[in-house]
Amino acid sequence: MTCVLVPRERRAGEHRVAATPETVKRLIARGCALIVESGAGLAAGFADGDYRDAGATLLDPRAADAQARWRDADVILSVQGASLAEAEPGLNQLRPGALLIGLLEPHANTALLEALQRQRLSALALELLPRISRAQTMDVLSSQANVAGYKAVLLAAAALDRYVPMLMTAAGTIQPARALILGAGVAGLQALATARRLGAVVVVSDVRPAAKEQVESLGGRFLEPPQLEQNPTEQGGYAQQASEAFLAAQRQQLAEQLAQSDMVICTAQVPGRPAPRLIDDAMLAGMRPGAVVVDLAVAQGGNCEGTRPGETVLRHGVQLIGAEALPSSVAHHASALYARNLAALLEHLLGAGTDGSPLALDLEDPIVSGCLFSHAADAAAPAAGATTGASPERQPVGGAA
């Protein structure tokens, strides 16, 4: 039987949880035993009693046997998995061969990789899950970006000094707010849909030509990227890093749009690289006072000059909101979706059986090899953000490595 542990999240401000009573039931039906740390779901609106009713065993982290129970775990489901490296109980209490699944900030996270390998633990970094159709149900980046795009527009609307929709009143007509969205990935498209539902007129910029059709189908106007000799290419649906010459041309194009915008939602990103700088100080000075910029890329350096993670700053009369941790601020539904993603991944790893046979990592499976961050059977450390390159095999999880 596969024993699955769901710890309380350790990172300050993280309100999500990696399993909900619904997914606990789902995994028990697949032959797993679930241990949930007490209080794990409280900040997301899931009470201990709901987990108990769903069939989980609750674990009090202060109980005398708490550390021993961590050693029972074959699989640990987490949101901010990287924070378990310093936690007590945490990775140190796990037995060799256990599998950690979560957001592991895998790009250049050598400290976590070393901790995992010291303990001989396997780990799947959900940031690296391949964006292929059969992994769509497991795609946490999409489910959480969707929440972030929605919430970013609500933050902008709440901070704005004007209505969003067009209104015809006895006192005259109010024109609709104008929104500019940078980046038409998952977050940007959800921001577009949300801003349109509120009644804004929306313009969207992206460097991927494929984004045009999606933007138009949601009622937005697509800004064609500047045509230079070397436009950023696309790989696997992701934009590649743009040259400085391209970004300069893009900023010139955006300056005109910004001057007419009331709210700007920044979502432009290039995986594993700093976010492209699309708004500089001079462009902010050209915006109207009272406008709002919500920068979802702030953790990667931001699309907008001057944004700071978790802070709102005023620059040239424009409010800059460094939107960090937005999915955590919609913790109930963000957790519900995240937990379903993880349940789908775990069910995939468990294979076809419902008899509780031990979970195995199939290194030939592109879903596994794509997001394998550490492999207990590996003597050599895999490169962060890359597959292990280990010889194909089916490696039991939970046994000694």
Q: What is the dihedral of CA 76, 78, 81, 87, to 10 degrees?
A: -80
Examine residue 23 and tell whether it contacts ligand NAD (CB under 6 A): no
Instruction: State which residue, 91 or 138, has the beta carbon closest to ligand NAD.
Output: 138
Instruction: State which residue, 358 or 370, has the beta carbon closest to ligand NAD.
Output: 370
**Count of residues in the chain:** 401
**Minimum gap (Å) between residue 275 Cβ and ligand NAD:** 8
Q: Which of 49, 165, 209, 237 binds ligand NAD (CB under 6 A)?
A: 237
**Minimum gap (Å) between residue 256 Cβ and ligand NAD:** 15
Instruction: State which residue, 53 or 213, has the beta carbon closest to ligand NAD.
Output: 213
**Number of residues in contact with ligand NAD under rule CB under 6 A:** 31
Give the sheet arrangement for strand 32-37, strand by strand. 57-59, 32-37, 2-6, 75-80, 99-103, 122-125, 372-374
Examine residue 97 and tell whether it contacts ligand NAD (CB under 6 A): no
Examine residue 304 and tell whether it contacts ligand NAD (CB under 6 A): no
Active site residue ranges: 131, 136, 139, 142, 238
**Minimum gap (Å) between residue 270 Cβ and ligand NAD:** 5
Examine residue 183 and tell whether it contacts ligand NAD (CB under 6 A): yes
Examine residue 145 and tell whether it contacts ligand NAD (CB under 6 A): yes
**Cβ atoms 399, 95 nearer than 8 A:** no
Q: Where are the beta strands (DSSP E) in 206-364?
A: 221-223, 234-235, 238-239, 263-266, 292-295, 312-315, 318-322, 360-362
Q: Please list the residues that pair with 362 across neighbouring strands.
A: 394
Nearest residue to ligand NAD by CB is 185
Phi then psi dihedrals of residue 360, to 5 deg = -130, 145
**Cβ atoms 348, 367 nearer than 8 A:** yes
**Cβ atoms 158, 319 nearer than 8 A:** no
Instruction: State which residue, 100 or 268, has the beta carbon closest to ligand NAD.
Output: 268
Q: Which of residues 253-292 bind ligand NAD (CB under 6 A)?
A: 267-271, 276, 278
Examine residue 206 and tell whether it contacts ligand NAD (CB under 6 A): yes
Residue 355, class by beta-carbon neighbours within 10 Å (0-12 exposed, 13-18 middle, 19+ buried)? exposed
Instruction: State which residue, 60 or 244, has the beta carbon closest to ligand NAD.
Output: 244
Start-to-end CA span in the chain (Å): 18
- From the list 42, 37, 23, 33, the residue with the least C-alpha distance to 84 is 37
Instruction: State which residue, 73 or 203, has the beta carbon closest to ligand NAD.
Output: 203
- From the list 99, 84, 115, 109, the residue with the least C-alpha distance to 384 is 109
**Minimum gap (Å) between residue 246 Cβ and ligand NAD:** 7
Instruction: State which residue, 122 or 142, has the beta carbon closest to ligand NAD.
Output: 142
Conformational region of residue 146, where left means phi above 0, alpha means psi within -120 to 50, and beta covers everything else: alpha
Examine residue 37 and tell whether it contacts ligand NAD (CB under 6 A): no
Amino acid at 142: S
Q: Which of 83, 143, 144, 205 binds ligand NAD (CB under 6 A)?
A: 205
Contact string 118-137 vs ligand NAD (x = CB under 6 A): -------------x-x--x-
Residues of the shown chain interacting with ligand NAD in the complex, contacts defined by CB under 6 A: 131, 133, 136, 139, 141-142, 145, 182-188, 205-208, 211, 237-239, 242, 250, 267-271, 276, 278
